[in-house]
Structure 1
């Protein structure tokens, strides 16, 4: 099968980590609607993951795995290949370790601990490392691979003191760029998509309406980005249109943050 054929979304087997709820579920639906086969990874949300898989019974498979456990991730990849008869060649690293998006409750400079930072680093960067390493043999054999990391615009616009979360996402951006250089000769692209407040996901459900209004007024589009709009950018990076794009961070937030 040619690389051009493999790059078509309808021919891909896509892994979405943390895919059962919120943005992850929107990412799963976006790929499935384009004809891709999708592995819905979850940690605790078994019912939600299975319900989502049932929406696309021929295309989706729900698989439980803790992405910080390299052995569990390897088992997930093996199960997916056995089920679909093809390897995972597109990985969307969306999983997030337990975190409260509540600015008032987050630690400030005088109370932040290494344990809090390390928890986010292990989940965000460690999880992405595990899925990338599990995917590499099949990607290299196919001469094709797509790794898409989910970031945050708080890296450029740190308006909320999410020190631990933002530091981990910044580290993931750095790894996105170094991996793109390392894996480019194997025709594996590595990119990041960064968003801000989305209307509406599980993470933003408790956000006051006044905050949504403030964000909307601050964007050129005068509205808050939806998770469905954010997910569309993943289709771009995974598909043939982005075959010459790697090592990039695309901010999808309605123009609130100008990336440079």
Structure 2
């Protein structure tokens, strides 16, 4: 093998990655876990539902992941003690932590005149923003000991625009992008990169509740590719950002939306 091919192989390998994924029991989180595991990474799957996390772990094993490379545990990202235990469990089970994927999410409409607006606002910010901030801070000691440490925050195209009646979700996703940019600056001198992935319309458990015909019309009218995306397409974006060759990408918002945000008509 030529020196260049060896260097390229090293730049795209994630076999040394120790990855903690929140919300890994379904949808985008599950796809990220399977993508990393199938690529040779060591993966800790966490989810609010322990059985969902374990199901993802089993899927990764059926994909060919080595048993010693996989672990799973329940995690309520709004519980500081559980966050700390998840980091500890990851470093013990995987031998370290080098890639943190903040994926856990919640989606609630929040019309401004709704009687439960303040409660929904707090719930959404607790899960989408405060949990990400807290887990990053708790994971920093382990990340600082790793080579090519990465932090990946799952944001949304709602962090780049707005949809009516979703003020809390939109505001929280804007804040996730702001958090990503700020932490990229704060941690850049240590070589730790921090990036946000902004999915557009994706087939997930949340969007499966929408009428199929409405989704098809929306995708045809609003996206350049005229279709919804898949969780796997988000997972591959996450994988690429974790590769050693992505070491100069930080503070970025990687938009994976089928051309939603660039299409005017």
Q: Same fold, TM exceeding 0.5?
A: yes
2:212 corresponding residue in structure 1: 209
Structure 2, unaligned runs of 5 or more: 1-8, 62-66
1:224 corresponding residue in structure 2: 228
Residues in 2 aligned to 1:215 and 1:27: alpha-carbon distance in whole angstroms: 26
Cα distance per residue 1:2-59 (max 9 Å; x no partner): xx9798311111111010011111111111111111111111x222221221233412
2:76 corresponding residue in structure 1: 66
1:125 corresponding residue in structure 2: 129
Cα distance per residue 1:154-207 (max 9 Å; x no partner): 233323421111111111110100000000011100000011221x21111111
Structure 1, unaligned runs of 5 or more: 101-105
1:245 corresponding residue in structure 2: 249
1:154 corresponding residue in structure 2: 158
The one of 77, 84, 90 aligned to 1:80: 90
Task: Please tell me whether residue 194 in structure 1 is matched to residue 203 in structure 2.
Answer: no
1:167 corresponding residue in structure 2: 171
1:27 corresponding residue in structure 2: 32
CA contact (8 A) 1:221 1:254 kept: yes
Q: CA RMSD in A?
A: 2.0
CA contact (8 A) 2:148 2:244 kept: no
| Displacement of 1:243 | 0.8
2:64 corresponding residue in structure 1: none
CA contact (8 A) 1:5 1:11 kept: no
TM-score normalised per structure 1: 0.88
CA contact (8 A) 2:10 2:244 kept: no
What count of residue pairs does the alignment treat as equivalent?
A: 247
Residues in 2 aligned to 1:222 and 1:173: alpha-carbon distance in whole angstroms: 26
Residues in 1 aligned to 2:212 and 2:12: alpha-carbon distance in whole angstroms: 41
CA contact (8 A) 1:6 1:144 kept: no
Compared CA separation, residues 184 and 90, structure 1 to 2 (3 A): same
